[in-house]
């Protein structure tokens, strides 16, 4: 989609907990092993919050890093948007908490729930506020505290999910001259909403003592259905992003880090060189809405973002919702 005012990424940042959980740790709860987890997911370790640690503190840390890199003061931020399904509280939005922690006293704030596609959804929404001329500085963050909503006795999910977040500051491209957002696409298929869900705890069904005992208030995922959908959807998103583009200009494919096997299958279908696909799932696991911005922030921190190269981002998740982005760095 074209926009009246070109929008760029002025700064990036990420923050993850210090606590490292390796694969062997799970053997006390479920029938698994390091070899089993690595072969099926590509994950060797992940970061989890400590007891009493808040996701909002990490959102504030990565937001601060993005602002500092962009050279923008918190008082200059017009809007804070956060993509997450695991905020500190159901009410209020974690974006309001982060707005206060950062001192963005003039900014509006709200959350977006789009599962693992949450960051790219927030990126799309934030881009429109700048492109329309309504705002100058929009802080877009994505991340999760999935360890807090995952069933420790569910082998299919507990070894996958992790905690962490990342984000960017959006400005007019003329003001930052990097990270031009060339195109974005959003999609959804609500008929698959039950593939990834927290069955109770919303307005439809409150939590009972029986639900707590059975873990119905925690995340549930139909892994086989999600896997089949993921391969096709990730392939389609990358095809969309590269349509009409010169493969020689590709800097990085930055995919949602859901499963290393899915990523390898999808990129192999498109004959994308493996060295062009950024993968950190082995170290951070699946942080849902946090994966794409954490990857981008790591690339920035290691000076691996070349001027004028193409960045292809793709993510899908609960909803089912998916999103893609093409960025000219």
Residue tagged active-site, from 14, 58, 173, 256 = 256
- CB under 8 Å to 170, separation ≥6 — which residues? 7, 8, 9, 10, 123, 126, 127, 130, 137, 138, 139, 140, 181
Q: For residue 137, which of 180, 111, 108, 98 has the smallest C-alpha distance?
A: 108
Q: Catalytic annotation on 104?
A: no
Residue tagged active-site, from 104, 116, 165, 295 = 116
Residue tagged active-site, from 23, 137, 259, 286 = 286
DSSP, collapsed to helix, strand or coil, labels residue 89 as coil
Q: Catalytic annotation on 116?
A: yes
Q: Catalytic annotation on 280?
A: no
Please list, residue by residue across 233-246, b when 16 or more beta carbons sit within 10 angstroms of its beta carbon and e when fewer do. Answer: bbbbbbeebbeeee
Q: Where are the alpha helices (DSSP H) in the chain?
A: 34-41, 55-70, 94-102, 118-131, 155-158, 173-176, 209-214, 223-242, 260-269, 281-284, 291-301
Distance CA 216, CA 159 (A): 18
- Tokens 């700048």 belong to 130
Catalytic residues: 116, 256, 286
């Amino acid at each position: 989609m074209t926009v009246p005012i070109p929008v760029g990424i002025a700064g990036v940042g990420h923050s993850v907990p210090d606590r490292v959980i390796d694969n062997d740790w799970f053997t006390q709860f479920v029938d698994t092993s390091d070899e089993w987890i690595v072969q099926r997911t590509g994950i060797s370790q992940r970061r989890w919050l400590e007891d009493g640690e808040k996701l909002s503190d990490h959102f504030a840390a990565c937001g601060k890093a993005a602002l500092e890199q962009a050279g923008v003061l918190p008082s200059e931020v017009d809007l804070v948007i956060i993509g997450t399904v695991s905020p500190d509280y159901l009410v209020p939005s974690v974006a309001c908490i982060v707005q206060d922690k950062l001192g963005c006293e003039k900014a509006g704030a709200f959350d977006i729930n789009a599962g693992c596609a949450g960051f790219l959804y927030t990126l799309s929404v934030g881009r429109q506020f700048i492109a329309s001329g309504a705002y100058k500085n929009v802080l877009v963050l994505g991340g999760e505290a999935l360890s807090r909503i995952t069933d420790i006795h569910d082998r299919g999910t507990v070894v996958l999910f992790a905690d962490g977040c990342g984000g960017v500051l959006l400005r007019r491209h003329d003001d930052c001259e990097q990270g031009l957002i060339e195109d974005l696409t959003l999609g959804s298929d609500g008929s698959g909403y039950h593939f990834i869900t927290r069955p109770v705890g919303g307005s439809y069904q409150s939590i009972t003592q029986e639900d707590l005992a059975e873990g119905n208030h925690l995340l549930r995922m139909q892994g086989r259905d999600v896997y089949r959908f993921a391969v096709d959807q990730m392939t389609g998103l990358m095809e969309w992003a590269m349509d009409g583009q010169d493969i020689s200009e590709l800097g990085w494919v930055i995919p949602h880090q859901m499963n290393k096997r899915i990523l390898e299958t999808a990129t192999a279908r498109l004959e994308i060189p493996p060295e062009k696909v950024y993968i950190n799932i082995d170290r951070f696991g699946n942080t849902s809405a946090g994966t794409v911005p954490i990857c981008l922030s790591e690339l920035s921190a290691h000076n691996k973002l070349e001027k004028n190269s193409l960045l292809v981002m793709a993510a899908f998740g609960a909803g089912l919702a998916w999103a893609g982005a093409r960025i000219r760095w």
